[in-house]
Amino acid sequence: MKKITLKDIARYFDVSISTVSKAVNDSHEISRDLKQRIQEYAKENHYKPNKLALNLLNRSTKTIGVIVPNILNYFFVQVLYGIEKIANENGYNIISCISDESFEKESKTLEFLDSGTVDGLIISLAEETQVKERIEGLQEISESQIPLVLFDRVSDLIACDKVIVDDFEAGYKTTKFFLNLGCKNVAFVSPIGKSSVGKLRLEGYKKARKKLKDDMMRNW
Amino acid sequence: MKKITLKDIARYFDVSISTVSKAVNDSHEISRDLKQRIQEYAKENHYKPNKLALNLLNRSTKTIGVIVPNILNYFFVQVLYGIEKIANENGYNIISCISDESFEKESKTLEFLDSGTVDGLIISLAEETQVKERIEGLQEISESQIPLVLFDRVSDLIACDKVIVDDFEAGYKTTKFFLNLGCKNVAFVSPIGKSSVGKLRLEGYKKARKKLKDDMMRNW
DNA sequence: ATGAAAGCGCTAACAC
DNA sequence: GTGTTAGCGCTTTCAT
């Protein structure tokens, strides 16, 4: 069963399309009787305004695209929740996509979301993208296209607003905590050692170890 | 910086819009020279065809909407992965949405995805939707609109294709397994006791206990 | 080789 | 109170 349009309704009632448009939008310009009949018919036939057409007309989709690298990660799921909550509160919908830590998938998703589909983009970079520094696509977007915000996994090469965690400090403090406890062999293990986040944590870890060593030397 | 359209390019080169359209689409109809200049200019200015317009024209978006109740659940994440994989392989993108087990959120999402945004819908019902049997919206969709497939959390009241797990059997077998082990007090605990899935598992559980009891009576 | 025109579904300014 | 027109950005006949 094909989808019904204003045109179909207009033909049925033998009136103009704009009349139908006004009728379904409950305009005061339309006579009470005709309006009622049209609305009834529209409802019966499950008329729904085509969003594509509306979005094209308004040059706005009221949706934000979000790309996260990995959805098996609780952190990203939480972020997704948060973004969606605030977005909804402000009349926006979100489209959440997963790059799966792959540069290719990220690019394809970007391609999909870009140009028309969304009004803005919120992205946390795939590890591969960070490692290879393949940020041409993102740069292009940040330069001229839709609003872009990077979070957590960011890149200095892309000029845009960013929301980040102080991973260096986190790595430092965590390591220091264990060292202060008297632990002798504190290992650093990370599944994302090559991402910006992993690298910063590692730096923090190293600094803490170095500091301990330096302190010991001094007190020797 | 506003997004550039065919119109803008046409104005710049003082040619018609259709000429530009053909040029960017690398049509043979356009002279080699002009085509090259237009393509270059288009690239420099980050021209991207507006997908909204294209989708409207093609009356197809090549995207599928997926609604899952909960993304902190590994099962749904896996399903999401699977759907996305197959969809991508077939030239489709997916928009994944979370109903958060809430009927209201599910309805809103449905509203958002319906009419134009996606070519088809894959849904696992929110618990609240199942409990309250509020399936008017879904029914309407299954009746006349876009293709709909339900999975896991389904409803008999909606006539459409469904992909399900034999939860009754699963509950039965699991319980039986423990009973056979000699366990005396096998409890049934479920966070989704009111969903179709939870109920069926409970039925299976009950059946296994009943069977044990019956068997014992017989052998007495 | 290039352009004019129609149309996708819709709204809005402006007639009548 | 109802219709006409233009336009959102694009493709696609069908001229020229």
pLDDT by residue, tens only, chain B of 220 residues: 678 999 999 999 999 999 999 999 999 999 999 999 999 999 999 999 999 999 999 999 999 999 999 888 889 988 998 999 999 899 999 998 999 999 999 998 998 888 789 999 999 999 999 999 999 889 888 886 789 999 999 999 999 999 999 999 999 999 999 999 999 999 999 988 888 899 999 999 999 999 999 999 998 7
What is the per-residue pLDDT for A107? Answer: 93
Nucleic acid strand D within 7 Å of B23 CB: no
Q: For residue B150, list its beta bridge partners.
A: B123, B162
- Each as own residue / partner, the long-range contacts of residues B51-60 (CB below 8 Å, 24 or more positions apart, any chain) are B51/A115, B51/A116, B51/A117, B52/A52, B52/A55, B52/A56, B52/A61, B52/A116, B52/A117, B53/A56, B53/A116, B55/A52, B55/B116, B56/A50, B56/A52, B56/A53, B56/A56, B56/B116, B60/B119
pLDDT at A144 over 80: no
Chain A residues at the B interface, defined by Cβ less than 8 Å, are 1, 3, 45-46, 48-53, 55-56, 61, 63, 71-72, 74, 77, 80-81, 84, 88, 93, 95-98, 108-109, 112, 114-117, 140, 143-145
- Smallest CA–CA distance, residue B190 to chain A, in Å, is 22
In CATH terms, the fold of domain A6-49 is 434 Repressor (Amino-terminal Domain) (1.10.260)
Nucleic acid strand D within 7 Å of B60 CB: no
Q: What CATH number was assigned to the domain covering residues B61-163?
A: 3.40.50.2300
Nucleic acid strand C within 7 Å of A5 CB: yes
Distance CA(B167)–CA(B199), nearest Å, equals 9
Question: Which residues of B fall within a CB distance of 8 Å from A144?
Answer: 1, 3, 45-46
Listed as ranges, the nucleotides of chain C within 7 A of a protein C-beta are 1-13
What is the per-residue pLDDT for A1? Answer: 64
pLDDT at A137 over 80: yes
Q: What value does the mean pLDDT take over residues A94-109? A: 92
What is the per-residue pLDDT for B186? Answer: 95
What is the per-residue pLDDT for B3? Answer: 87
Nearest Cα to B49, choosing from B28, B27, B20?
A: B20
pLDDT-wise least confident of A89-98, A135-144, B27-36, B91-100: A135-144
User: What is the token pair recorded at B181?
Assistant: 């082990």
What is the per-residue pLDDT for B1? Answer: 64
Cβ contact A137:A160 at 8 Å: no
Nearest Cα to B50, choosing from B85, B83, B84, B17?
A: B17
Cβ contact B15:B41 at 8 Å: no
pLDDT-wise least confident of A5-14, A142-151, A161-170: A142-151
What is the per-residue pLDDT for B144? Answer: 67
Q: Which of B4, B41, B52, B83 to mutate to test the interface with A (most CBs of A within 10 A)?
A: B52
Q: Do B84 and A77 touch (CB under 8 A)?
A: no
Query: Which nucleotide comes closest to B17 if you measure CA to C1'?
Result: C3
- Percent of chain A clearing pLDDT 90 (strictly above): 78
User: In chain B, which residues fall in CATH 3.40.50.2300?
Assistant: 61-163
What is the per-residue pLDDT for A161? Answer: 95
Q: For residue A163, list its beta bridge partners.
A: A151
What is the per-residue pLDDT for A188? Answer: 96
What is the per-residue pLDDT for A54? Answer: 96
Distance CA(B209)–CA(B25), nearest Å, equals 68
Distance CA(B30)–CA(B25), nearest Å, equals 10
User: What is the token pair recorded at A66?
Assistant: 């979000």
Nucleic acid strand C within 7 Å of A56 CB: yes
Distance CA(B128)–CA(B111), nearest Å, equals 17
Nearest Cα to B114, choosing from B143, B88, B134, B87?
A: B143
pLDDT-derived band at A41, boundaries 50, 70, 90: very high
Q: What value does the mean pLDDT take over residues A179-186? A: 94
pLDDT-derived band at A76, boundaries 50, 70, 90: very high
Question: Which residues of B fall within a CB distance of 8 Å from A56?
Answer: 50, 52-53, 56
User: In chain B, which residues fall in CATH 1.10.260?
Assistant: 6-49
What is the per-residue pLDDT for A72? Answer: 82
Q: What's the count of helices (H) and strands (E) in chain A, helices before strands? A: 10, 5
Nearest Cα to A137, choosing from A165, A164, A162, A115?
A: A115
What is the per-residue pLDDT for A26? Answer: 95
Distance CA(B148)–CA(B150), nearest Å, equals 7
pLDDT-derived band at A190, boundaries 50, 70, 90: very high
What is the per-residue pLDDT for A152? Answer: 95
Q: Which of A8, A94, A95, A148 to mutate to test the interface with B (most CBs of B within 10 A)?
A: A95
Nucleic acid strand C within 7 Å of A24 CB: yes
Nearest Cα to A44, choosing from A77, A1, A74?
A: A1
Question: Which residues of B fall within a CB distance of 8 Å from A67?
Answer: none
> Taking all residues of chain A, what is their mean pLDDT, rounded to a whole number?
93
What is the per-residue pLDDT for A114? Answer: 82
Question: Which residues of B fall within a CB distance of 8 Å from A97?
Answer: 96
Q: What value does the mean pLDDT take over residues A88-117? A: 90
What is the per-residue pLDDT for A187? Answer: 95
